[in-house]
């Protein structure tokens, strides 16, 4: 399938939030507490995203849309966000893929690859970093297929009173 890529709009918010929740419940089922995943509420997430898109304060992003106009996935990216607890990658000018999610019903249909290819083109020629949950083997494989490699940096993502380990991947160019 060919995917149309475009900037997200306020009209996409409900679809983006629904994809986010379905993707979290699918990908993180064995990595996060079940009650956290069951308790994901679309309302607050949608309100925050709607406001960011309405005011133009959102980071750069893309949505993948099918031939029927249905959003199948999304990606947010921009300048690397330094973390007080983890050393930044060496050198200036790093970019970061902040989030990338595809509706689990659309996995392996090319939407994720289309989003990643476009995000990397938008961030070129800078090196790019991203964070992924350590136990998310399918996502790690996806990033590796796109040239990313772990650089040894690790952190924890706090959710539901649990510290979920994350690893940083980098793409040097």
Segment-wise mean pLDDT, segments of 10 residues, the chain, 173 residues: 93 97 96 94 95 91 96 96 70 88 94 98 96 97 97 90 93 90
Helix (H/G/I), strand (E/B), else coil: 101: strand
Q: Establish if 135 belongs to a structural domain.
A: no
Is residue 59 situated within a structural domain?
yes
State the pLDDT at residue 120: 98
Residue 23, domain member (yes or no)? yes
- pLDDT score of 92: 67
In a domain? residue 149: no
List Cβ neighbours of 130 (8 Å cut-off, separation of 6 or more).
96, 97, 98, 100, 143, 148, 168, 169
Our count of domains for the chain comes to 1
In a domain, 142, yes or no: no
Q: Residue 87 has what pLDDT? A: 62
Q: Does residue 133 lie in a domain region?
A: no
Contact 120, 171 (CB under 8 A): yes
CATH of the domain at 66: 3.40.630.30
Domain interval for residue 42? 4-126
pLDDT of residue 58: 85
């Amino acid at each position: 399938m060919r995917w149309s890529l475009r900037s997200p709009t306020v009209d996409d918010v409900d679809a983006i939030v629904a994809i986010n929740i379905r993707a979290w419940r699918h990908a993180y089922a064995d990595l996060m507490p079940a009650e956290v995943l069951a308790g994901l509420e679309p309302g607050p997430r949608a309100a925050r995203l709607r406001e960011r898109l309405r005011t133009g304060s959102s980071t750069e992003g893309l949505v993948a849309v099918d031939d029927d106009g249905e959003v199948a996935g999304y990606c947010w990216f921009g300048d690397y966000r330094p973390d007080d607890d983890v050393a930044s990658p060496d050198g200036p000018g790093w970019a970061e893929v902040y989030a990338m999610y595809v509706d689990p019903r659309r996995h392996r249909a090319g939407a994720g690859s289309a989003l990643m290819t476009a995000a990397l083109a938008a961030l070129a020629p800078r090196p790019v970093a991203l964070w992924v949950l350590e136990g998310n083997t399918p996502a790690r494989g996806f990033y590796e297929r796109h040239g990313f490699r772990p650089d040894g940096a690790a952190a924890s993502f706090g959710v539901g009173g649990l510290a979920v380990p994350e690893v940083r991947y980098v793409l040097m160019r």
